[in-house]
């Protein structure tokens, strides 16, 4: 079969890339209201694809935000059912001027496809569709039962999906959940992610005097909102990178010795990361390795900050407003709701005199970790090994897929995080791209995995 499929994907490659280009051209930015209809177009496009490859019961389920795309094919009697999750929404694209080619005009250079959403997550979701189409085309049927759940709010914290999952547990019931929205360890080294950090964050809005003031006339007399914000933000971490929010670390699980050893075996190179990011030194919480800081330690980052005059030249204003957005990556067993409360208390306890502060929470996601010896996960590891010819690594991921924790809690089935992204592919940054060798090999891995699952995993 593998030879057949290799030829099949080779024959269809141009067509596949043309189709993916179509999808990537739709600016389905869920965070920006002016892209609401584009986001809907992104949903409709993938729904049409699912229909083309023979899926059934295709529906755009409305939510309070962007719709959820559902489709299924349930004719593999006695075989396990796979719920495939992906998302059709993408991150905003600013700063736009740093893109070498426009984010929604996909361009192939050096065997990579450059576009917003190329890896995160249109590219990876698309691979599941094409792998299943290949099986359907070559075998006339699928080796497993399949349900697709493709949402449009992953990049804004999957606001409405938990409610949808809770209300549609029967529709979504499955034996295993497969998600391709993570990455490999490095080029040529496939990896399965068995843990993810969660997410919690707030926007901080500082207000001082009734309006902007002349810094000459009033400078020295009244609190500058920017200074107040700077003082407040600086109170969040100490010189060692340790987060100073009271009780922030209370529920953080330590690493087992086994995990520590496994991470050391990965031979992660600080030097290579420095080179990749073009920095002279790495930075972060003292006392932990870089991998530990990225995977198993919580973080607090300012994502944006602004106030006062940003134009060319000088304006001697004493600004009366200042704003910041901060988010934390969370690890088991931190609770996002509790963390938002702790952050809010910290802000109020550290607000300098002479200003008022308003705190608005962002949407949240719980951290997640799962045993990686489950047969569904081990089968995926074998498929990777077959195609890539090297052992599969079992890793944790620093990012958050908020819905993973929800699936874990509500559906209570094994979740297989099969990632095909690579570090440095600029998810969430300008010039996002996807290495096409992982597109090519990934299609084979996914097709093989569904065949393996059909045998290895009894209902």
Binders of a second copy among 400-459, rule CB under 8 A?
400, 423, 426-431
Toward a second copy, which CB reaches closer, 320 or 454? 320
Judged by CB under 8 A, the chain residues 315 through 354 that form the site for a second copy are: 315-319, 322-323, 325, 327, 329, 352-354
Please, where are the H alpha helices in 327-401? 336-349, 375-388
DSSP string of 373-391, one letter each residue? TSHHHHHHHHHHHHHHSSP
Minimal distance in Å, beta carbon 275 to a second copy?
10
Toward a second copy, which CB reaches closer, 31 or 456? 31
Toward a second copy, which CB reaches closer, 80 or 398? 398
Q: Does 223 bind a second copy (CB under 8 A)?
A: yes
Calculate Rg over the CA atoms of the chain.
23
DSSP category for residue 67: P
By CB under 8 A, the count of residues binding a second copy is 97
Judged by CB under 8 A, the chain residues 101 through 160 that form the site for a second copy are: 156-157
Q: Which residues contact 383 (CB under 8 A, 6 or more apart)?
A: 445, 446, 448, 449, 452
Q: Which residues contact 54 (CB under 8 A, 6 or more apart)?
A: 73, 133, 136
Q: Tell me which H or E stretch contains 394.
A: strand 393-397
Instruction: Answer yes or no: are the C-beta atoms of 325 and 303 closer than 8 Å.
Output: yes
Looking at 73, 126, 164, 362, which residue binds a second copy (CB under 8 A)? Answer: 362
Minimal distance in Å, beta carbon 116 to a second copy?
12
Judged by CB under 8 A, the chain residues 49 through 78 that form the site for a second copy are: none
Strands 213-214 and 176-179: unpaired
DSSP category for residue 397: E
Judged by CB under 8 A, the chain residues 280 through 319 that form the site for a second copy are: 280-285, 290, 293-294, 297, 299, 301-319
Minimal distance in Å, beta carbon 355 to a second copy?
8
Among the listed ranges 17-25, 26-34, 341-349, 369-377, the one in contact with a second copy (CB under 8 A) is 26-34
Find the Cα–Cα–Cα–Cα dihedral 425, 428, 431, 432, rounded to 10°.
Answer: 40
Site string for a second copy, 198-217 (x = CB under 8 A): -x-x------xxxxxxxxxx
Q: Does 359 bind a second copy (CB under 8 A)?
A: no
């Amino acid at each position: 079969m593998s030879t057949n499929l290799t030829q099949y994907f080779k024959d269809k490659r141009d067509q596949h890339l043309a189709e993916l280009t179509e999808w990537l051209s739709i600016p389905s930015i869920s965070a920006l209201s002016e892209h609401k209809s584009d986001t809907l177009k992104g949903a409709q496009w993938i729904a049409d694809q699912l229909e083309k490859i023979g899926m059934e019961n295709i529906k755009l389920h409305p939510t309070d935000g962007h719709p959820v795309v559902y489709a299924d094919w349930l004719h593999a009697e006695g075989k396990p059912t796979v719920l495939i999750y992906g998302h059709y929404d993408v991150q905003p694209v600013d700063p736009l001027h740093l893109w070498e080619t426009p984010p929604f005009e996909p361009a192939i250079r050096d065997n990579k496809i450059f576009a917003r959403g190329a890896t995160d997550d249109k590219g990876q979701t698309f691979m599941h569709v094409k792998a299943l189409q290949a099986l359907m085309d070559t075998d006339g049927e699928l080796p497993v039962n399949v349900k697709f759940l493709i949402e449009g709010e992953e990049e804004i914290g999957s606001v409405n999906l938990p409610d949808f999952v809770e209300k549609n547990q029967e529709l979504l019931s499955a034996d295993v959940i497969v998600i391709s929205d993570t990455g490999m360890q490095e080029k040529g080294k496939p990896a399965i992610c068995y843990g993810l950090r969660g997410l919690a964050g707030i926007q901080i809005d500082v207000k001082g005097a009734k309006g902007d003031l002349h810094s000459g006339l009033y400078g020295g007399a009244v609190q500058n909102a920017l200074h107040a914000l700077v003082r407040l933000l600086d109170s969040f971490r100490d010189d060692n990178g340790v987060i100073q929010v009271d009780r922030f670390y209370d529920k953080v699980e330590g690493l087992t010795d086994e995990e520590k050893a496994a991470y050391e075996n990965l031979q992660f190179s600080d030097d290579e990361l420095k080179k990749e990011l073009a920095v002279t030194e790495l930075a972060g919480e003292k006392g932990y390795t870089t991998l530990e800081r990225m995977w198993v330690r919580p973080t607090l980052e300012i994502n944006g900050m602004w106030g006062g005059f940003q134009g060319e030249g000088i304006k001697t204003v004493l600004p009366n407003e200042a704003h910041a957005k901060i988010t934390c990556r969370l690890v088991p067993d931190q609770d996002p709701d509790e963390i938002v409360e702790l952050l809010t208390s910290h802000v109020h306890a550290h607000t300098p005199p002479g200003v008022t502060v308003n705190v608005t929470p962002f949407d949240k996601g719980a951290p997640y970790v799962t045993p990686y010896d489950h047969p569904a996960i081990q089968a995926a590891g074998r498929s990777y090994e077959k195609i890539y010819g090297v052992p599969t690594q079992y890793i944790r991921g620093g990012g958050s897929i908020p819905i993973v924790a929800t699936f874990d809690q509500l559906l209570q089935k094994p979740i297989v995080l099969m990632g095909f992204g690579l570090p440095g592919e600029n998810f969430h940054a300008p010039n996002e791209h996807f290495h096409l060798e992982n597109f090519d090999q990934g299609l084979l891995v996914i097709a093989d995995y569904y065949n393996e699952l059909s045998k290895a995993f009894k209902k």
